[in-house]
């Protein structure tokens, strides 16, 4: 383990409202991507909103830190926050890019 934190914040627009309101697909994607990237998922929580929008909020507690996301399907928008301690998060970032594809607009910042 190195002594560095890796923090990447994503703002993605133009994503499918159908995808952004499907908590099962989103959960499966993030869980699979985290595991494939070698992160250790300790716990997770997902909430599907039923009034005031059809959005989804999810969080994965990792032994290395966390990944959280919030969707706004009515605006085609998802916010994703990935923070890892001591392990580079590039592999999960690559997975997120591939999952949402080239047809979306991405503002990604790594701190």
Give the catalytic positions in this structure. Answer: 65, 70, 85
Q: Which residues make Cβ contacts (< 8 Å) with residue 62, sequence separation at least 6?
A: 34, 39, 40, 41, 42, 84
Residue 27 CA to residue 52 CA, distance in Å, equals 21
SS3 22: coil
Q: Are 37 and 92 in contact (CB under 8 A)?
A: yes
């Amino acid at each position: 383990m190195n002594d560095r934190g890796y923090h990447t914040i994503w703002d993605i627009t133009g994503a499918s409202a159908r995808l952004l309101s499907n908590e099962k697909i989103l959960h499966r994607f993030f869980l699979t991507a985290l595991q494939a990237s070698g992160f250790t998922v300790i716990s997770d929580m997902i909430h599907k909103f039923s009034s005031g929008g059809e959005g989804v909020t999810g969080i994965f507690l990792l032994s290395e830190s966390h990944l959280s996301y919030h969707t706004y399907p009515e605006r085609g928008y998802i916010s994703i926050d990935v923070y890892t301690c001591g392990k580079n998060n590039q592999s999960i970032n690559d997975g997120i890019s591939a999952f949402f594809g080239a047809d979306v607009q991405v503002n990604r910042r790594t701190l």
